Structure 1
Amino acid sequence: MKKWTVILAAFLLLLSGCSAKETVKQPDKEKVVDKGEKNVEEEKENPYFFPLTGIGSEAKTDGRAIAVMVNNDPKARPQSGLHKADIVYELLAEGDVTRFMAVFQSEKPDNIGPVRSSRAYYIELAKGLDAFYVAHGYSEEARKLLESNYVDNINGMVYDGTLFKRSSSRKAPHNSYITYENVLKGAAKKKYSMVKSPPSFTFMSNEESKNITGSDAKSVMISYSRNALSNAVYEYDETLGKYKRFSGGEQTIDLDSKEQILLDNIFIIETAHQVVDEVAHKKIDLKSGGKGYLLQKGKAGEVEWANKNGRIVPMKNGKEVPFVQGKTWVNVVPTNPGLQTSVSFNVK
């Protein structure tokens, strides 16, 4: 049992050991580069950069982002493709279970899923990135948005068994998958352009990332519910300079490759949630702004969040706070009970 020190409210939590049932594939040491070792001159050699990760590239990085709804029910874990997402947004769906919207632009996974149904607030996030939106199913509010072409999209309700395939190893609704190739086929079928890149977030240089300050945040737990179905734990790996993710006491890895989910920015925000019908569909405010935490390089800073032309960004003293170059996970928790109760840090 670890003693959890809670920012703004101290209490004790029991944290189960975090270990994956399946063998975790360790990152290739040659590929895991501490970007802090690169100097500024090396950074300037890359004429291009990916808009959602800030990572430099010698080749052009044009291309539309793809946003895919991914199931996070315990029966859907481990998922496929999340390790290649530039950004993952995690919000509550019905009940106590969260759902992911995984956004891909710099990397293209072979297989993505299990694909799950849409909600209006995820569509708003996809709209802010001008992303091609992929889901299997929808709430009534989401259906109206999709059928009005509010965002370019394909849905498994139309293409089940064609673009979307069912896995025999899992039961519905936890067995719908789509390949990246079929995502592009779907876009071509509906004559959507996939050329335009998403708007870019703000990123710090690798040199600047060496000087991040804040409270020690080697480990953080985010509680979405009392039954812990969707509770997430992030552990900072000093060697890799990245955060590992755990859920239900198991490390979040890719089903197919067994690769770890490794993250550079953990952005946690609180916002108003409202249950709107008898099946517990929610309305989530992603426009008004509010309190947040930003975890980078083992440090946590208190920030505000704002909606900037549809994108959720960290702010402090009226200025946008830059991300560390790399992958980002955004956790959205309800204002009630709020960050003080939902987020706890283990300083170690």
Structure 2
Amino acid sequence: MRHRTRRRGRTVRHGARAGAVPVLLAAAVAASLAAGCAAPPPAREDDGRAPHLERSHGTHGSAGPVLAVKVDNAPAARPQKGLDAADVVYVEPVEGGLSRFMAIYATRLPESVGPVRSARESDLELLRQFDRPALAFSGAQSKLLPLIDRAPLRPEPQDRAPDAYVRDDARPAPHNLYLRPDRLLPSPPGATALTTGYRYGDAPEGGRAEPSRTVRYPAASFTFTWSPSTGRWLIAMDGGPVPAAGGGRPEPATVVVQHVKVRASAFRDFLGNNSPYVESVGSGEAEVLRDGRSYDVTWKRGAAEEGTVFTAEDGTPVNLAEGPVWVVFTRTY
């Protein structure tokens, strides 16, 4: 049976499950990460912020770089702000089986994003697909900072751009640092800056009905439930629904469960734990969730400078649904 989206899209050229770990362990690891990544708060400012920018699908050349923001996903960081405005959200494993987000903004800049947290080594490879992206993060392991400075991106940590960050006294540190994107980018660069390799358009043939899909990390879980009324996937984290905060609720049109190799990074946290390194260059299996259905695909990213292509078994490119995309990196076993 041929399944199609409600409206025709267009092609845009773009550049493990494991059992749950006891809650006490997750909380302890989250606390250790917090202690290791905390940074002195920037000067507090008033709450005046720029009005919300309308979503725009540009068709001409990019006006500038995308904005990438590392966003906290420890339980104490929720609800996050600004994830609803992201064009792409990458879900990444971090130490202790927890998770963190890399939110990418090109067509819309929210008023606030956060809580902002630290960068990881594999972020540098992931971001090579974009043209000198601006990377907002709270800090990084000291030995990683020189690699960040040499990477083809624009580092914008809080110590270099203090006017772009503000702390919320109502929330505990370090889960209270927020970015004001308009202090880093004058305007969103447009859809052509999203050099991800993703194609958007009609749904592929086949697939199977999948009203709900859960992805588990050792100390975190994500459940995506299809909502026919909204035409989007509703997100639950660790069994609880994601509430709206400082804007709308993140509801992706497409969810990609991308099976990747995860190895130990060369860098460790202050407790001596190796940070996981997500190998986003290579190939493997994935599932594309759209329109309440799941499609088994193959992903391929030939080089760090290239985007990721999803293909069906016969080699046909697989389209994503128009709208926000969440990519959940999960370990290949």
Classify the TM-score, shorter chain.
0.7 to 0.9
The yes-or-no answer on 1:92 pairing with 2:115 is no
The yes-or-no answer on 1:306 pairing with 2:300 is yes
Once the 2 structures are TM-superposed, how far is the Cα of residue 139 of structure 1 from its aligned partner?
2.7
Q: How does 1:172-187 map to 2 (within 5 A)?
A: 172-184=173-185
**272-281 vs 324-333, greater mean Cα deviation:** 272-281
Once the 2 structures are TM-superposed, how far is the Cα of residue 57 of structure 1 from its aligned partner?
4.7
Q: Secondary structure at the match of 1:122?
A: helix
- Corresponding residue for 1:320? 317
- CA–CA distance in 2 between the matches of 1:90 and 1:318? 26
Can you list the C-alpha shifts for 1:134-185, whole angstroms capped at 9, x where unaligned?
A: 111113454122222431121124334x322111011222111111111227
Contact 2:118-2:140 within 8 A present in 1 as well? yes
Distance 1:247 1:154, change over 3 A: same
**308-317 vs 259-268, greater mean Cα deviation:** 308-317
The yes-or-no answer on 1:251 pairing with 2:224 is no
Q: How does 1:20-31 map to 2 (within 5 A)?
A: none
Q: Secondary structure at the match of 1:125?
A: helix
Q: What 5-or-longer segments of structure 1 have no aligned partner?
A: 1-34, 188-192, 337-348
The yes-or-no answer on 1:107 pairing with 2:101 is no
Q: Secondary structure at the match of 2:330?
A: strand
- Corresponding residue for 1:281? 275
Contact 1:253-1:260 within 8 A present in 2 as well? yes
**Letter of the aligned partner of 1:254 in structure 2?**
A
Q: Secondary structure at the match of 2:160?
A: helix
Q: How does 1:320-339 map to 2 (within 5 A)?
A: 320-336=317-333
1:147 is aligned, of 141, 149, 165, to: 149
Can you list the C-alpha shifts for 1:65-102, whole angstroms capped at 9, x where unaligned?
A: 11110000000001000000000000111111101000
- Corresponding residue for 1:76? 77
TM-score (norm 2): 0.75
The yes-or-no answer on 1:221 pairing with 2:214 is yes
- CA–CA distance in 2 between the matches of 1:58 and 1:94? 38
Once the 2 structures are TM-superposed, how far is the Cα of residue 219 of structure 1 from its aligned partner?
0.2
Q: What 5-or-longer segments of structure 2 have no aligned partner?
A: 16-54
- The number of residues matched between the two structures is 280
Once the 2 structures are TM-superposed, how far is the Cα of residue 254 of structure 1 from its aligned partner?
3.3
Distance 1:113 1:133, change over 3 A: same
Contact 1:123-1:133 within 8 A present in 2 as well? no
- CA–CA distance in 2 between the matches of 1:156 and 1:314? 36
Q: Secondary structure at the match of 1:83?
A: helix
- CA–CA distance in 1 between the matches of 2:184 and 2:194? 17
Can you list the C-alpha shifts for 1:181-240, whole angstroms capped at 9, x where unaligned?
A: 11227x9xxxxx9698342634343xx33x653111100110111x4xx20000000122
- CA–CA distance in 1 between the matches of 2:86 and 2:230? 18
Aligned-residue CA RMSD in angstroms?
3.0
| Percent of matched pairs sharing the same residue | 21
- Corresponding residue for 2:20? none
Once the 2 structures are TM-superposed, how far is the Cα of residue 105 of structure 1 from its aligned partner?
0.8
**Letter of the aligned partner of 1:137 in structure 2?**
G
Distance 1:198 1:59, change over 3 A: closer
- CA–CA distance in 2 between the matches of 1:201 and 1:302? 18
